[in-house]
Structure 1
Amino acid sequence: MPFREEIQWDVDNIYYIHNWRKFNLQDFSHLESRDLALAVAALSFNQWFTKIYCKDLKLSADIQQQLTFLLSKSSSLEELSLEDCGLKVDFAVKMAAALQQHTSTLQAINLSGNSVEDKGVIALSQEIQHLNEGLRFLSLSRVSMSTKGLGCLSQVLSSCQQFSTSLTHLDLSCNPGSLVTEDATFLFKFLSGTNSLSYLDLSDTNCPLDTLFVSLSAGCCYKLVHLNLARNPFSHRKVRQVTRSVQEFFSQSCVLRYVGLSATKLPPQALRFLLQGLATNTHLFGLELDLSSCELCTAGAQVIQEHISEATAIRSLDISDNSFENDMVTLVLSVGRCQSLHHLALGRNFAMKSRQMKIPLQGLNRNKAAGPDGVSPSSTVRIMFFELSSAFNTI
C-alpha cells in the first residue's frame, strides 16, 4: 500500500496542534476506500486518538472490517460514533465479537441511523454488560429495533450496577413499537432506580407516558436536563384517572431545561398536573416546553389559562397546532400575564380574522412576554405575524 503523506500532514499539523483526539473519517472521504481502511487499521495501534467519528458517509466493507479490528486491539479508544453510515446487522455482530476478545476502554457508542436490528442490538447488549466501567453515552436511534431488542438491552441496563452510575446519555428514539410490550418494564425499572441520566430521548417508541412518569418521578428528578417523549401515547389503555406522578416529577425536577411532549395527546388532567408541578417547583428556570400538536383543544386551553401564570419555570412555550381557534383571544390574554416567557409559538391555531386578535396580541406585545413563531398558509395570519414582527423588533 502506498504511503499517504496527506494523512500524516493532517494529523501532525491539524489534529496534533489543536489537540484534537477525535479522528473524523469524513476528513478523508476523498480517499479511496482501501486507503481510508488502512488509516483506520493504523489507529488500532495509535495511543493519541480516543474517538472515532463519522456521519452520513457510507462505509465500505473494507473500512467496516478494520473498524472491528480496531475495536479488538485498541487500548485508547473511548468513543465510537458511526451515524447513518450504512451499517447492517453483520457489523454490529462483529463489533460485539471484537469487544469480547479485548478488554475495551469504550465509554460511548453511537450507531444511530444504521439498520442493525434486534440481532445486532442483542449481540451488543450481551457484550457491553462486561465493560468494567459501563457506558457513558449510548445512542441507538433509528436502528430498526423492536420490543425484543430493546427488552434485552433494557434488561442489561437494569441488571448491571455500573450503568446506574456511568450512563448519562440514552437515546432510543424512532424505533416505533419498541416500548409496547411488557419487555419495557426492564427499562422502567432502570429509570426508577438511582441513575445518572441527564439526557433521555424515547420519542416515537410507543412508550406509555402514564407508566413512564411513575419511573421518572422515582429516579430521574435530580440530574435529568433533556427529556424528549414526543409522538408517544399517554397510555396504552383508556385513561380514567391520571396518576399524580406527572405532578411529582415536574415539582421535584432540579435541572430540567427541555421537555418535548409534541404529539402526545396529553389529557387535560395530565396537563394540569404538569403545570401545577412546575408552579410549585422552586429549582427550575429557563425551561423550554414543547406541547405542540397535542390536540389540547378547548379543555387544554382552559387548563393553560388557569395555571400558566403560576408556572414561572417556563421560558419557552410551544402550543402550536392544538385546535385553539375558538379560544385564542382569552388564551393569549392569559399567556400574556406570564412574565417568565421569552418565547411563544402559537402557529396553526388561527381560524379568525386578524382584527379579532389585534387587541390581545398588542397587549401581549406590551407585556414583552413572547414572540410568536410558526407560519400559517393563511394570508390573514401572515399579515398579523408581520405586524407582530415589526412591533417586537422595537422591544
Structure 2
Amino acid sequence: MRLGSEVVDQVLHTVSKSNSLEELTLENAGLKSDFPQKMASALSENPASVIHSLNLAHNTLDNQVVALFLPQNPLDPESRFTTRSLLFGALLRGCCADLSYLNLSKNSFSHRKARDSLPTFRQFFSSAFSLTHVSLASVRVPPDSLRALFLGLSNNPHISDLHLDISGCEALQSLSLADSRLRQRGTVLVNALGSNACLRKVDLSGNLLEDSGAKMLSKALQINTTLRWAFKQTRKVLCKQRRLCPC
C-alpha cells in the first residue's frame, strides 16, 4: 500500500510520541529517500520508544541516507531491518553490539558493490556479539561475500548459538565445515543436505558426527542427487552411494 505524505507524517508523529509501539511495518509503501532521516528525528524526540522491529523492505531508499538512521538510533535487541541496500556499514557503526535478529531475505546484492564492501561485511559478522538469527534466504550472495561471512563468524568468539539461513543461495556450490566440532549440532546440517540442490562438494570431517550422524548422512544422500564430491571422514558413507568421487 503506497502511503501519501500526510499518512507518513502521522506515522512519524506516532513514533515520536508512543511509548508502547513495538513493531512497525512499512513494506513496499512508496517511502521517499528522506524517510530514514525523518524517522531518526522522530525517534530522537522519543527516548521512551520501545520499537524493536522495523521493516522497510521494498522501498527505494538510498544507502547513504539509511546510514544516517542506524548510527544515531541503534535499535534494541531482536530488531529487524530489511531494505534492498547493503546496510552493513551502517549496522556496524550503529547497532552492531546489540543487534540479535537480522532478516535480509529476498533482497538483491550488487556484485560490484559487494566486492567493495567485503572488509565491512566481514568485520560486521566478527563484531556482532549478540547475533542469534541471520537470514539471507533466497539472496544470491556472491561467493566472496559468503566466504567473508563465514570468516567473520569464525573470528567472533562471542557467538555460541546462531541460526543462519542461507537457503536458496545459488552462489553456494562448495561448503567446508572441517574441524568445526559440530557434534550433534551437525545433524541439522546433515538433514538439510537431503533437499539441497546446489551443493556439489561438502567437507564435514572433524565434526565427530559418529555413527548416528553417518546414518543420517546416508539417508540424506538417498534423496540428494546433485552432491558429487566429499572429503575425508565423510567419504566412506558417501562411497556407498557409488555415484560420488571418494578422493
The TM-score, its normalising length taken from structure 2, stands at: 0.69
Q: Are the structure 2 counterparts of residues 275 and 323 from structure 1 closer, same or farther at C-alpha, using a change threshold of 3 Å?
A: same
Matched, 1:145 2:29: yes
User: How many correspondences in the alignment?
Assistant: 221
Q: Are the structure 2 counterparts of residues 208 and 147 from structure 1 closer, same or farther at C-alpha, using a change threshold of 3 Å?
A: same
Q: Are the structure 2 counterparts of residues 135 and 188 from structure 1 closer, same or farther at C-alpha, using a change threshold of 3 Å?
A: farther
Q: Which residue matches 2:71?
A: 192
Q: CA RMSD in A?
A: 4.0
Q: Which residue matches 2:109?
A: 234
1:235: how far off?
A: 2.4
Larger Rg: 1
Runs of 4+ in 1 over 6 A off after TM superposition: none
Q: Secondary structure at the match of 1:259?
A: strand
Listed as ranges, the gaps of 5+ residues in structure 2 are 242-247
Matches within 5 A, 1:1-395: 115=1, 117-119=3-5, 121-128=7-14, 130-131=16-17, 137-142=22-27, 144-148=28-32, 151-160=33-42, 161-162=44-45, 166-172=49-55, 175-176=57-58, 178=59, 180-182=60-62, 184-193=63-72, 195-203=74-82, 205=83, 207-209=84-86, 212-235=87-110, 239-298=114-173, 301=174, 304-305=175-176, 309-310=179-180, 321=196, 323-324=198-199, 326-327=200-201, 331=202, 334-335=203-204, 337-338=206-207, 350-352=224-226, 360=234
Listed as ranges, the gaps of 5+ residues in structure 1 are 1-114, 365-379, 381-395
Residues 83-125 of structure 1, C-alpha deviation per residue, up to 9 Å, x if partnerless?
Answer: xxxxxxxxxxxxxxxxxxxxxxxxxxxxxxxx46344651323
More helix by share: 1
Q: Letter of the 1:124 partner, please give it.
A: Q
1:213: how far off?
A: 0.6
- Contact map agreement 2:79 2:102 (CA 8 A) in 1: yes
Q: Secondary structure at the match of 1:254?
A: coil
1:134: how far off?
A: 5.8
1:287: how far off?
A: 0.4
Higher relative contact order by CA 8 Å / sep ≥ 6: 1 or 2? 2
Q: Letter of the 2:23 partner, please give it.
A: L
- Contact map agreement 1:234 1:264 (CA 8 A) in 2: yes
